[in-house]
Amino acid sequence: MKVNFGIAAAIVLSFAVAGLAACGEKGSAERAGKKIDDTVEKVGENIDNTVEKVGEKMEETGGKIKNAAKDKK
């Protein structure tokens, strides 16, 4: 799976703009900021999980390649 940081950034930015546009009453900026923080945290967790899975698959594939090379000797 290819991680596209541009898409993640666009999603976060769209939430930020939507959150700030909704700031009409007292305290709404704080709520919008909290929503932005939560969204950024979730995006970060998803990216971390994806990177971890890719790393595991790369190690697995590397082992298969190594074993195949041994078998060819």
Question: Average pLDDT, stretch 7-31?
Answer: 70
The one-letter amino acid at 20: L
CB 8 within 8 A of CB 43: yes
Q: Tell me the pLDDT tens digit for each residue of 45-69.
A: 999 999 999 999 999 999 999 988 8
List Cβ neighbours of 20 (8 Å cut-off, separation of 6 or more). 29, 32
Instruction: Report the predicted TM-score, pTM, of the whole model to 2 decimal places.
Output: 0.53
Question: Average pLDDT, stretch 67-73?
Answer: 82
